[in-house]
Amino acid sequence: MKGFWPVFKKELYQMFMSPIFYVVAFIFLLVSGVFFNFILTQVVQVSFQVAQHPELLKEMSMTELFLRSFLWNLSIVTLFIAPLLTMRLYAEERKSGTIELLFTYPVTDAAAVAGKFAACLTTFAVLIAATLPGVIAVALVAGLAWKLIFCGYAGLFLLGCSFLSLGTFASTLTRNQIISAIITFGVLLVLWFMGEATTTLNPLVGSILEYLSVSKHFEGLSKGLIDSRDILFYFVFSVFFLFLTLRQMSSYRWRG
């Protein structure tokens, strides 16, 4: 893909130079820290309460009480920050008119889409990596399996990847960054809770909606369970919306 690296470096530089990134990073780390402290405190309290009942301790492992709860809360925070990370990718360039300038560079549409998305994904990876030291500290003290931490964070990364791909596409639909963020958040919210309505619907329709729910596929990964169907879902989800983004870019070039 000709021109990937220039676009990637440009977008990454603009991302880290943007005040929005530091606001998002501050909110993400602050909320994550609050969740971390609260969940860890609850785990310690519950552990003391059931210390006299070893059979309960087997059922209520640290993974169940801490890691899964923390990752689940991080996934909810991701639901809110993903629209903020992607809202400027194309909406800002369309508003300023620089997207037409992009078409004059020796950069393919695929490289431009991939470069912008990769920069946004790298930014997200930096944010979730910043939460790792606390988890590693708990793992060293409580003896959490490293495999569970790896699977959980890999699942969170895949979840974020799918969220950002949808946000990237939404950013091509409007010149207004706020509208882009609202569209992304609204669609993600529907996809998040889609699986909760399965009990009131036709079994076939319910099973389809449950499969399309982004939160359902994260449940297993947050427990440290690797299922190829969950990985495939997030991969296809991300590729689908990146493909739509590419088609939208091609449409701009054709009309431009």
CB atoms within 10 A of CB 209: 19
Q: Which two tokens stand for residue 45?
A: 């309290």
Q: How many residues would you count in the chain?
A: 256
Burial code (b: 16+ CB inside 10 Å, e: under 16) for 40-74 equals beebeeebeeeeeeeeeeeebbbbebbbbbbbbbb
Render each residue's pLDDT in the chain as its tens digit; 256 residues: 678 898 899 999 999 998 889 999 999 999 999 999 998 888 777 766 666 665 555 555 656 678 889 999 999 999 999 999 999 888 887 777 677 666 667 788 899 899 999 999 999 999 999 999 999 988 888 777 888 899 999 999 999 999 999 999 999 999 899 999 999 999 999 999 886 766 666 777 778 888 888 988 998 898 888 889 999 999 999 999 999 999 998 877 776 5
* Cβ–Cβ < 8 Å for 188, 214: yes
Task: Give the distance from CA 137 to its chain's centroid.
Answer: 24
Q: What is the pLDDT of residue 226?
A: 86
226 phi-psi bin (left φ>0, alpha ψ -120 to 50, beta other): beta
> Could you say which DSSP state residue 45 is in?
H
Are 64 and 148 in contact by the 8 Å Cβ rule? The answer is no
Give me the pLDDT at residue 199, please.
60
Cα three-residue angle 6-10-15, rounded to 5 degrees: 150
pLDDT at 212: 86
Torsion angle of C-alpha atoms 186, 187, 189, 190, degrees rounded to 10: 120
Residue carrying structure tokens 């409580």: 142
Contact call for residues 29 and 130 (beta carbons, < 8 A)? yes
Per-residue tokens: 86: 């992607």
The CB density around residue 151, as the number of other CB atoms within 10 Å, is: 20
Q: What is the pTM of this model?
A: 0.90
